[in-house]
Each structure stands twice: as C-alpha cells, then as structure tokens.
Amino acid sequence: LAGTRIICDRKFLLECKNSPVARTPPCCLPQTPGVTSLAQSSLVKLEELKEQNESEEAMPGEWPRHMVP
C-alpha cells in the first residue's frame, strides 16, 4: 500500500490555523442535517425544552414535573 506523504512544518500549520479560510465553511458544502447543520429533530427538542423551562420559571411555587417527591 503505497501513498503520498505530505509533510508540513509546524510554523506553516500554525499560520493556517489563523487563516480566514479555516474559520468559515466552504460555500459549496451541502447542508446535511445532523452533520453540517443541526438535525431537524434536535431543533424541535430544543424548542420544547425552551418552552418547558419558560413555563417552569413562570410557576415559581410549584415543583418541576421531573422532581415531584
């Protein structure tokens, strides 16, 4: 199994880290839910949790459902 070995020095790699190109995703990158963007089900779960937290904050005298003794 022969392959090409690419050798870069430390200075070059550290310079690449600060490059603007390294900080932005490529323009032609496809949107894959759960890989390059949040999965749709994750977004729904986040909204549900946010609503639940807001409703628990609105009722300060009551125990949260998951902590009922």
Residue 60 placed within a domain: no
Task: Say if CB 42 and CB 34 are below 8 A apart.
Answer: yes
Banded model confidence at residue 53, pLDDT cuts 50, 70, 90: confident
Residue 19 placed within a domain: yes
Domain, as residue range, for 14 = 7-25+38-51
Give the pLDDT of residue 63. Answer: 59
- For residue 13, give Cα distances in angstroms to 16, 28, 44, 60: 5, 24, 39, 53
Residue 14 placed within a domain: yes
Q: How many structural domains comprise the chain? A: 1
Residue 68 placed within a domain: no
Residue 43 placed within a domain: yes
Residue 12 placed within a domain: yes
- The total of other beta-carbon atoms located within 10 Å of residue 37's CB is 14
Residue 21 placed within a domain: yes
Residue 45 placed within a domain: yes
Average pLDDT over residues 29-55: 76
Banded model confidence at residue 11, pLDDT cuts 50, 70, 90: very high
Give DSSP secondary structure letters for 13-44. HHHHHT-HHHHS--TT----BTTTB--HHHHH
